[in-house]
Amino acid sequence: MDKRAFQFSPVQRYLDRIHEELLDLNDGNVADYIPELTRADPTWLGIAMVTVDGHVYQVGDSRQSFTIQSISKAITYGLALEDRGLDQVLSKVGVEPSGEAFNSISLEPGTGRPMNPMINAGAIATTGLIEGNPNAPPMQRILEAFGRYTGRPMEIDERVYRSESDTGHRNRAIAHLLLGYGILDRAPEEVVDLYFQQCSILVTARDLAMIGACLANNGVNPVTGVVALQSRYVEKVLSVMSTCGMYDFSGGWIYNVGMPAKSGVGGGIMAVLPGQFGLGVFSPRLDAKGNSVRGIEACKRLSKDFSLHLFHVARSTSATVMRQVYDCAKRTSRRRRSEAELAVLAEQGHRIRVYELQGELLFGSAESVGVEILSELARVDYLVIDLKRVIGTDQASILVLSELCMRIADEGKRLFFTDSKNLYRFRKHLQGSAYRGQEPGPLHFEDTDHAVEWCENQLIAEAETTGADTPVADLSHQYLCAAMTGDELEALRQAGRECAFKTGSRIFDAGDCAESMFFIFSGEVEVWVDAGAGHRLRLTSLGPGMVFGEVALVNRKRRTANVSAVTDTRCLELRFDAIPESLHVKMLMSMASHFANKIERDTQLIQQLA
């Protein structure tokens, strides 16, 4: 992506403008409850945004380091969930808003369980759940977790840590209370020390935006692709941020700003718009509640100016995920077919339907797709669902599609998913359940073209058992010879030369001189080009009664593609300069007519595709 594009992007321009305007906002005071924090320059202002596409926007002091402080609570909570699981974490820390300030000791009467993990008591209890392993002590594991979010190695500000440690008497008191209630099961001093270090991790506004983007992107870092937090816990972390992240301002924050967020007394705010972006703002002057004044204002303006709100989400409908639907009466596979086969497909091809999906499959959109497919199932026998453009699935959509598979199998229809190689979880699940009960056979195709060809072959085979067709053709089957008499066909045969090609052998290569055409008597050939990296891209396949290389008759050029024999193949090779004069016009008439029909079909297809 061109760097210039970002500089002039609408969002970059907007952030530049907000940054400039907020420089005039000088309310609030730098935190002084830890002596070391007073060293911050009160004029610093950095804003960064990272989208789930991985675009990074930043302005001002977005690369200035500061200590993360309370924003660390959200990340450590996620790590505790991964380490201990939901039940154990919930037994130690609740999820209800306390309605009180950040340093309140809101413990649940009786159990002593802190109300939620965003107040200090809850955060200390959470940090107490993080254990080390033989390879890494707890603090190293915490630093590594933070690094998965930010995409870079993290460090601690030793002076702030010492300063926190020297003055954190209230937090020590909390830890001892928690020990008394059995919430902590390790030495309070050790846990509080870990907590002080965690709060002293150095971050930038850009880091905070990246952390937010991971949470917006179902836990995956959108730049590095690393899983920062398991997807199933992302919604839990965002839930506590949304109800408790801004202390006693949480209801109003969701109502007015509408983004789960967490602030720290270092001057940082990290906000998340799920599915869209993460936002990081840094400015050290704080309001009475300990939130960055400019940070709050930046979030408010952004939300208002762009109508951003977590409850304003894209509707998840089939219109969004169903890219296109077509049947094979109108659009066949690349396998070239005889007129008789084309006639079968024109009549029966509607029984094969291809559904191209795209984007992210969630409950609502998967269900819509399922309903659309089922609504026309009575008219269809073969279904191909193309997943090439699907960027993600969730558990709900997998369950919905599994039920769809079973229903289709129950009805005795055949269903193929193609191009699902990026959807590992989806494939794994379907292999386990969906294809159960289907008869054995070539059930999986990497691409839609081959799946459709297989379905077409079924329709054609079905028609052949009733009708009559021959796997061996003579010149009378060739469209170019349609208007010729028996004598003329014989003259043509005499003019040509019979030849045989073994399976796999090349008949001609792209770039060869084009001086003849080939009428196929038996076998099958494939026309293909080199797609690089050793891959062949099939342009078409041809069988008995078909001709290849004939375009050069009117359009003398070099060969533009390779042709290989797929099976043992017999042909008549006819040199252009050997064609009897009297047959020339007949062949040209047939060719032009055939091409005109092909153009008509292509035009219809293009209109349908476009």
| Closer residue to its own copies in complex, CB, 115/492 | 115
Q: How far is the CB of 424 from its own copies (least distance, A)?
A: 17
The two tokens of residue 540 are 């078409």
Q: What is the three-class DSSP state of 369?
A: helix
Measured in residues, the chain has a length of 610
Considering 77, 195, 355, 382, which one is annotated as catalytic?
A: 195
- Residue 70 falls in the annotated catalytic set: yes
590 is in an annotated binding site: no
- Residue 289 falls in the annotated catalytic set: no
Q: What is the three-class DSSP state of 88?
A: helix
For 37, residues 6+ apart whose C-beta sits below 8 A from its C-beta are 30, 31, 67, 160, 163, 265, 266, 284
Q: How far is the CB of 172 from its own copies (least distance, A)?
A: 27
The two tokens of residue 375 are 């609504």
Considering 149, 247, 355, 479, which one is annotated as catalytic?
A: 247
Q: Are strands 562-565 and 547-548 parallel, antiparallel or unpaired?
A: unpaired
Contact (Cβ atoms closer than 8 angstroms) between residue 330 and residue 608: yes
| Closer residue to its own copies in complex, CB, 137/252 | 252
Computed on alpha carbons and rounded to an integer, the radius of gyration of the chain in Å comes to: 34
Q: How far is the CB of 523 from its own copies (least distance, A)?
A: 24
164 is in an annotated binding site: yes
| Closer residue to its own copies in complex, CB, 284/349 | 349
Q: How far is the CB of 550 from its own copies (least distance, A)?
A: 9
382 is in an annotated binding site: no
356 is in an annotated binding site: no
Concatenate the DSSP letters of all residues of 319-364 into one string: HHHEEEEEETTTS--SB---HHHHHHHHHHGGGEEEEEEEEEE-HH
- Residue 255 falls in the annotated catalytic set: no
- Residue 265 falls in the annotated catalytic set: yes
CA distances to 79, 91, 93, 125, 352 from 182, rounded to whole Å, are 21, 11, 12, 10, 64
Neighbour count for residue 184 (Cβ, 10 Å): 24
- Residue 424 falls in the annotated catalytic set: no
Considering 62, 70, 292, 333, which one is annotated as catalytic?
A: 70
In whole angstroms, give the CA distance from residue 587 to residue 579.
Answer: 10
Q: How far is the CB of 589 from its own copies (least distance, A)?
A: 5
Letter for the amino acid at 55? H
| Closer residue to its own copies in complex, CB, 136/585 | 585
Considering 52, 59, 72, 73, which one is annotated as catalytic?
A: 73
In this structure, what are the phi and psi dihedrals at residue 339, rounded to the nearest 5 degrees? -60, -40
Q: How far is the CB of 9 from its own copies (least distance, A)?
A: 5
The two tokens of residue 519 are 């009428």
In whole angstroms, give the CA distance from residue 246 to residue 236.
Answer: 16
Q: Is 412 left (phi over 0), alpha (psi -120 to 50) or beta?
A: left
| Closer residue to its own copies in complex, CB, 3/169 | 3
Q: How far is the CB of 52 from its own copies (least distance, A)?
A: 5
Considering 59, 265, 293, 452, which one is annotated as catalytic?
A: 265
Identify the residue whose tokens are 């090439």: 388
| Closer residue to its own copies in complex, CB, 37/384 | 384
265 is in an annotated binding site: yes
| Closer residue to its own copies in complex, CB, 120/368 | 368
In whole angstroms, give the CA distance from residue 516 to residue 400.
Answer: 55
Active site residues: 70, 73, 195, 247, 265
Positions at the binding site for substrate: 70, 120, 164, 171, 195, 247, 265
